[in-house]
Amino acid sequence: MAFAMLTAVGVAEAQNKNITLEDIWTKRTFSAKGVYGIRSMQDGEHYCTMSRTGIAKYSYVTGEKVADVCLFGGPDMQKKAKPLPPMEGYEFSADEQKILLSSGFEPLYRHSGVSDYYIYDVQAKTFTKISNNGKQRLTTLSPDGTKVAFVRDNNLYWMDLATLEEHAITTDGKVNEIINGTTDWVYEEEFAITQGFQWSPDSKKIAYLRFDESKVKEYNMQMWGTLYPEDYKYKYPKAGEDNSKVELRIYDVEAQKGLFMPSLTAEARTNATWEYIPRFQWADANTLAFMRMNRLQNHMQILSVNALAPNKVQMLYDEQDKAYVEVPDTWQFITVGKGKKAHQQMLITSEKDGYRHIYLYDLNGYLVKQVTSGEWEVCDVLGVDVKNQKLYYTSREHHPTQKSLFVIGFDGKKKQCLNDVTRNVKNTEDRYVLGTYNATFSNGCKYYIRTYSTANEPPVYTLHDANGKLIKVLEDNSELHKKIFVEYGAYRKRFKSFTTSTGVKLNYYTITPKDFDLNKKYPVLIYVYGGPGNQQVSDSYGGSDFYWYHMLAEKGYVVFCFDGRGTGGRGADFKKQTYGDLGRMECEDAIEAARWLGQQSWVDKDRIGIWGWSFGGYLSTLSLLKGNDVFKMAIAVAPVMNWRYYDNIYTERFLGLPKDNAKGYDDNSPLNFADRLKGNYLLIHGTGDDNVHFQNSAEMVEKLENAGKQFEFRIYPNKNHSIYDATGNTRLNLYQLMTDFIMRKL
């Protein structure tokens, strides 16, 4: 009833305010609140959160604060000559008597950077800076809390916290040649791994990756701002080019020497045609497990090696696919059974039956149980309750656009959905409240903090017990909900699907003007990403672009977004059908979407535009050129123009090697269709883009000029793939540019 009343008020008052770009990018008018830095305490009965002022401890039973664990500006800090800089992250030692804190983060690439690190002694209430020898990367406490390990200048170190004495594990690190303890650019970007070392559970050994990237070719970017622009060179392996040679090594901290592991050397893996080590972890104090993949990424194995018997290698898992094998989202070792029957098994997610599901294997490599099954995808394994032998996970079982929370036994039985439910009065049937659910579990899984949102509702944070019972609402973002609904009337994202001429059903959403009338004709802006496995049509809170789209709707445009063939949430076959022919089906679907829109009574078929970023910029460009009879305009931000120019792990995963699949690389390159440009085209790129190089747009500009085509082009000097700065001014400028172009050209 309250929601209905709010809706009525919203209709009456929505005309009072219009969204501005300043609201979105500089004033942060629509920023959602959250619960940040959630860490479960070892007792499983308390958790901590982090704010600008410190770290606070809360009770899971009540959701109430019980103590301030660490105050960054507390009385103990007033004695210091220099105040602490703002803290950005924290990690407890195993006994929770020390806290590792980080500050002063300086980015290197998209997911990595260097920081200063401090140790806070909970009892003594003292802050100690770990090192004055320069900022560090990936500083990590040993499990026993007595030591840390970190990377500096491509070398790996460990330090005894009692003496603060640094010990070099490696000394051969060198920029653009040798990397120890972290990963090279392409592993970071495409395998999502930067932590290239791990402590053993007994704190006596460290396993780490060593990259020899000396034979990887360099990419050069000029950085503007000085009298003579500086060259920035880094190793970037493009499709078909040499990769780093990677080894997995083990260092004995107590003996202060490396352990020779013949099965892990680069030579051993090269002889077996293995190219990549995308993951590794300790299964126990002496057993190291690791994944290896071939160059084409269609064969993946997991093996274990005993550090005390280095020639003893055990195969734990083997998976092959005619297209490619995804690196598992979940891969961990768990204890099953109780008492004397307790033993380790390996928990892993895989698409081997056509959909991503959860599997259990024993440590001899035999399948124990496929825990989940069905024509739907598991998203994430969130909690493992060893005591009660239960798994908590999210999946798209209800619909590909929605994510629900479930619990299931290790044996695959007693599955239960933990979504909110509503009672249907007419037939007294419980119905699940759908949207997007996520959760952070306590140690032992007695409690969890849940996040819930929909496309039209900002996140709500709630505390629950293991059975789903609500304990407390921690943050409901009610003020933001009221602001955007009542003051701006912006919740108008609606989900449906359409069927292409080839019989493929595709999901989409629309955002329409406030006074939308089916009998009127509206211009339509299509937003597309379309890359393999990606989903944009999701019933979840959308952030900044969500409000930009509503701002465009206020100006009379309909915003339309769809997920075409090759996108995620609908199983491996749907996702992998674009393998070897990237761009063709995706472009066909974009053109089909435009043609379908042109048949709707409410669409002005002569005013359909398309825009996208990165893969979406590639697809928007290709669609404008190939579909020049249906698209009036396109905007492309930081687009790939030729897959030969992009990194090899991503591109070869979906296209194979250039020498084996030249047509797959070239047939759908926008560079080959520049002469087809008829509509209005805006091309945008940052010159400091280390991901999709400015080279892509520079070559497209040349092709268009040679074809005698007119277009608009904007560069952002030194800006990376995100075209962003901390003030928001760069993003404001970018969206002012795009808004103006849409208003003029669509």
Identify the DSSP state of 273.
Answer: T
pLDDT at 268: 54
Q: Is 547 part of any domain? A: yes
Residue 257 CB burial class (10 angstroms; 0-12, 13-18, ≥19): exposed
Of 484, 602, 596, 597, nearest to 546 by C-alpha is 484
β-strand pairing of 505-511 with 558-563: antiparallel
Which distant-in-sequence residues (6+ apart) come within 8 Å of 297 by Cβ?
276, 324, 325, 649, 652, 653
Identify the DSSP state of 710.
Answer: -
Question: Is-catalytic flag, 614?
Answer: yes
Domain that holds residue 654: 492-673
- 3-state DSSP assignment of residue 154: coil
Q: Which residue among 46, 464, 693, 721 is the active-site one?
A: 721
Domain boundary among 145, 178, 213: 145
Of 297, 263, 305, nearest to 278 by C-alpha is 297
Q: Is 283 part of any domain? A: no
The domain total for the chain is: 2
Question: Is-catalytic flag, 404?
Answer: no
Q: Which residue among 442, 614, 669, 697 is the active-site one?
A: 614
Give dist(CA 53, CA 350) in Å, integer: 42
pLDDT at 432: 87
pLDDT at 584: 97
- Residue pair 93/147 in contact by the 8 Å Cβ criterion: no
Domain boundary among 673, 706, 739: 673
pLDDT along the chain (746 residues), means of 10: 36 66 93 94 96 94 94 66 80 93 92 93 90 94 95 96 93 96 97 96 96 97 93 96 95 87 58 86 94 96 88 91 95 88 93 97 94 97 95 97 96 95 66 93 97 94 96 96 88 92 96 93 98 96 92 96 97 97 97 97 97 98 98 98 98 98 97 98 97 98 98 97 91 97 97
Of 119, 124, 112, nearest to 141 by C-alpha is 119
What CATH number has the domain bearing residue 507? 3.40.50.1820
Question: Is-catalytic flag, 740?
Answer: no
Domain boundary among 122, 145, 168: 145
Q: What are phi and psi of 78, to 5 degrees?
A: -70, -20
β-strand pairing of 54-59 with 65-71: antiparallel
- Residue pair 590/627 in contact by the 8 Å Cβ criterion: yes
CB atoms within 10 A of CB 526: 23
Q: What are phi and psi of 545, to 5 degrees?
A: -65, -30
pLDDT at 72: 86
β-strand pairing of 558-563 with 522-527: parallel
Residue 287 Rama label (left phi>0; alpha psi -120 to 50; beta): beta
Q: Please give the C-alpha separations between residue 625 and each of 328, 344, 743, in angstroms, as whole numbers.
A: 37, 55, 21
Global confidence as pTM: 0.94
Q: Is 51 part of any domain? A: yes
Which distant-in-sequence residues (6+ apart) come within 8 Å of 267 by Cβ?
none
Q: Is 98 part of any domain? A: yes
How wide is the angle at C-alpha 686 spanned by C-alphas 680 and 689, nearest 5°?
130
Q: Which residue among 689, 690, 693, 697 is the active-site one?
A: 689
Q: What are phi and psi of 301, to 5 degrees?
A: -125, 150
Q: Give the HSE-up count for residue 499: Cα atoms under 13 Å, Cβ half-sphere.
A: 3
